[in-house]
Amino acid sequence: MGSPDSEKKSQPDERPLHWVKISEPFYIGKYEVTQAQYNIIMRTQKNCKFKGDSFPVENVNWLEVNSFINNLSTKCGLKFRLPTEVEWEYACRAGTNTPFYTGETISDRQANYDCRSAYGKGIKGIYIGMTTAVGSYPPNAFGLYDMYGNVWEWCSDRYDNAYYRHGDMIDPKGPSGGKRHVIRGGSWKDDPALLRSAERKAKMSGADKKYLGFRVVLELPNPNTTKLSFNGQLLIGGDAIVQENPVPQLEKAEPLNNSSKTFVPVEHELVYNEKTQKGYISVKGMGLEARLWMVTKIGEICSSKNIVIQQGEKPELACFKLLDEKLKDGKFTIEFECK
């Protein structure tokens, strides 16, 4: 964790470079939390600078983020939280020790940042000047998107510029006091040096800027668990990863044994194209409360087509992938693909 003295544009608060142990596995969101997800959980319409259901929620301060997380945890019956700083850097690096998980430099094809300047031997690019839909750029080796750029991401730790010199070596959670909280990853408006895996910044808890967002961590109910429950994966926006054990991006299209089978919304629409194996399901007048029923229906349609994917010599059960989720004009829509 941290950076060596030789790393270009590195800062004193990133040193010393040191070993840290994460003793428990964890799930972390594949994407930054989107505006649609935030609005569904908070039952509000967040006033973001750059609007779009699939865009990251921004203008959120640390207190609002934790209110969202509390609501999400209560609704799901699971324990969500912000990542600690060490969890964030571990997830970001994905096994690398270079300034970026992309190597010694980064380009405008790999992240959304102010690419009018270059890092190291990199090249300049075309500056967008705003956020982009989550997942618009290639993921790191853990399958995580937008760990660099788009929006800075809140961490749970308070900030201390000397913490690396005296902090815990096992599951560090940051200093016990301090007025500011750590943010990581850089944003759409920052030069590439601020995107580095080791870069650390901090903001006051009440800061709400058009470059501040977040992603969530889900603690495993049981340390021996290797995969989330079906419902849990959906609620954090699709795929997730567990430390050192990537979770497949496709879900088995098996019927769910829960009360969702008896729940039928008054007005819904299901469209599926057998040629493209893609479709969508929409429900009017509902949001998150209908999601489990909707995904069950997606599983049923994929299973009914007897779709089989081949991996090596073993055929697997029909699977599906959620492509997008939108809440607009009182209609909640999930787009999907059967594989």
Per-residue pLDDT tens over the stretch 321-339? 778 878 777 788 888 888 7
Lowest mean pLDDT among 64-73, 84-93, 109-118, 313-322: 313-322
Q: What pLDDT is recorded for position 289?
A: 66
244: left (phi over 0), alpha (psi -120 to 50) or beta: left
The answer to whether residue 229 scores a pLDDT higher than 60 is no
Q: What is the mean pLDDT of residues 298-305?
A: 74
Per-residue pLDDT tens over the stretch 22-51? 999 999 999 999 999 999 999 888 999 999
Task: Kindly state the tokens that stand for 148.
Answer: 């660099």
The answer to whether residue 83 scores a pLDDT higher than 50 is yes
Average pLDDT, the chain: 83
Pairing type for strands 152-158 and 212-213 reads: parallel
Comparing 315 with 126, the larger pLDDT belongs to 126
Instruction: Output phi, psi for 42, to 5 deg.
Output: -90, -5
pTM for the full predicted model = 0.69
What percent of the chain has pLDDT above 70? 81
Instruction: Output phi, psi for 222, to 5 deg.
Output: -135, 130
Q: Which of 187, 201, 194 is nearest to 56 (CA)?
A: 187
Q: What pLDDT is recorded for position 75?
A: 87
Alpha carbon distance 21, 177 (integer Å): 22
Alpha carbon distance 318, 301 (integer Å): 10
Comparing 263 with 298, the larger pLDDT belongs to 298
Alpha carbon distance 195, 99 (integer Å): 9
Lowest mean pLDDT among 134-148, 206-220, 222-236, 307-321: 222-236
H or E element in which residue 218 lies: strand 217-219
CA 120-121-123 angle, 5° bins: 105
Lowest mean pLDDT among 63-72, 141-150, 215-224, 249-258: 249-258
Q: What pLDDT is recorded for position 234?
A: 35
The answer to whether residue 116 scores a pLDDT higher than 90 is yes
Q: What pLDDT is recorded for position 337?
A: 86
Do 7 and 199 touch, CB atoms closer than 8 A? no
Q: What pLDDT is recorded for position 264?
A: 59
Distances (CA, A) of 94 to 29, 102, 139, 246: 14, 10, 10, 11
Do 75 and 149 touch, CB atoms closer than 8 A? no
Sign of CA dihedral 94, 97, 103, 105: positive
**All domains of the chain, ordered by start, with CATH?**
1-248 (3.90.1580.10), 250-338 (no CATH)
Start-end of H helices in 245-305: 291-304
Per-residue pLDDT tens over the stretch 242-275? 333 333 233 333 333 333 344 556 678 888 888 8
Confidence band (pLDDT; 50, 70, 90) for 298? confident
Q: What pLDDT is recorded for position 76?
A: 84
Lowest mean pLDDT among 93-107, 153-167, 186-200, 287-301: 287-301
What is the three-class DSSP state of 237? coil
